[in-house]
Amino acid sequence: MLETVMATDALVRRLGAAVKKAGANRGSGWFTPHMAAASRAILERIPLVDFTLEVRDARIPISSAYEDLRHFSSSSRNIIVLTKMDLADRLQTQEWLKHFGEQNCICYGINSHNKDNIKDFLNFLQAQVRELNKVDRSKHTTTVMLVGIPNVGKSALVNSLHQIGRISAAEKGKLKRAIVSPMPGETKDISSLKIASHPNIYVLDTPGVLPPEILDAEVGAKLALTGAIQDFLVGEQELAEYFLATFNSSDVYKQWKNLPSEEDERSSKDHKAKLLGSPEADVRKHKQYPTDHTQDFIVRCVRRTLLETVSSFKGNLENEEEVQELIKAQFVALQEVFHVPLGSDNDGIYKVAMKLLNLYRTVRLL
């Protein structure tokens, strides 16, 4: 959705300007002294490793490119890995894989939470290593380094590779894990984990690194929306508005047309409650927390609300002012769904924005 659908120009310009401003502020922006040091350390190690895996977000495979790799000539030992495939449009991802193949780039799509997918990828890496060893028979250990911008899923991929590789090699011992966090920039140091034996393959997990400046407004907006840049640097409300703008211009909501209405869903629950009997019904009822936006019944309400607001919109999605009015109406409707007190106070808007962004980033709205 993100890489092909252009949001309204005003929102993109606004977010792009915020990203640019944050990048210019070296004291409190994303390019901290730690990130600068990490960037230098990674650049020093790239010529020393056997393979680099450039990890990109499958939703934004161009915008999430690791710019520092441009300092090195293209090589068959550089592999592009599109992570978070479960969050991306499957058909679009296949088109991107085809595109990179036509550019003579080795590219592989990954869902780090799918064991079979990880096993296949590990087999693919081992095949690449065996080809390398045919050329250099003196090598007994192969080193693979993951590089990428923040929050593209490097640590999750490392952990999955290490877990599957350790099991496959029947190695014992405590499982060392990389830290996985939804917050960008949590990986602080370069760490090494073994992912295969015979031949030995070690993978280096590195901190996420962004360029000091992001001048392209659309790239900045996409990176901010997918969580590569900390939300507070650009504004949670603006990010939620950008998400709604891209969502309203896409066809995602059309797949929800067969969702049962709230009344039908309530009737179905009442019917099940009668069949279960009073005690079981009370237990089921008490398990529903209206303020917990991650619960399934809330997610369904969010989908219905977005479907209804977009479907009933009679304006022009190309008109900036009309689109902004639609987004305002959606915020009001979502306040009720999320059980946030109605009103125009900033705290209520902030809560709606954060809940909506969380559902988007955790694939609940696909």
Nearest-angstrom CA–CA distance, 178 and 191:
8
- For residues 142 and 50, the answer to whether their CB atoms sit within 8 Å is yes
Nearest-angstrom CA–CA distance, 294 and 301:
11
Tokens encoding 24: 């210019």
pLDDT at position 351, please? Answer: 93
Give kind and range of the element (H or E) at residue 144.
Answer: strand 141-147
Contacts of 360 (CB under 8 A, 6+ apart): 225, 243
Q: What is the pLDDT along the chain (366 residues), one digit of tens a residue?
A: 555 444 468 889 999 999 998 888 876 788 888 888 999 999 999 988 999 999 999 999 999 999 988 877 656 589 999 999 988 888 999 999 999 999 999 999 999 999 999 999 999 999 999 888 887 766 678 999 999 999 999 989 999 998 888 765 555 544 455 544 455 555 556 888 888 887 889 999 999 999 999 999 999 999 999 999 999 999 999 999 999 998 998 888 788 888 776 655 555 454 445 555 555 545 455 466 777 898 999 999 999 999 999 999 998 888 888 999 999 999 999 999 999 986 657 788 999 999 999 999 888 887
Give kind and range of the element (H or E) at residue 107.
Answer: strand 106-109
Tokens encoding 134: 């045919």
pLDDT at position 175, please? Answer: 43
Tokens encoding 77: 């030992």
pLDDT at position 256, please? Answer: 84
Strands 191-196 and 200-205: antiparallel
Task: Work out the number of other CB atoms within 10 angstroms of the CB of residue 10.
Answer: 14
> Could you give the angle at the alpha carbon of 83 between the alpha carbons of 80 and 87, nearest 5°?
140
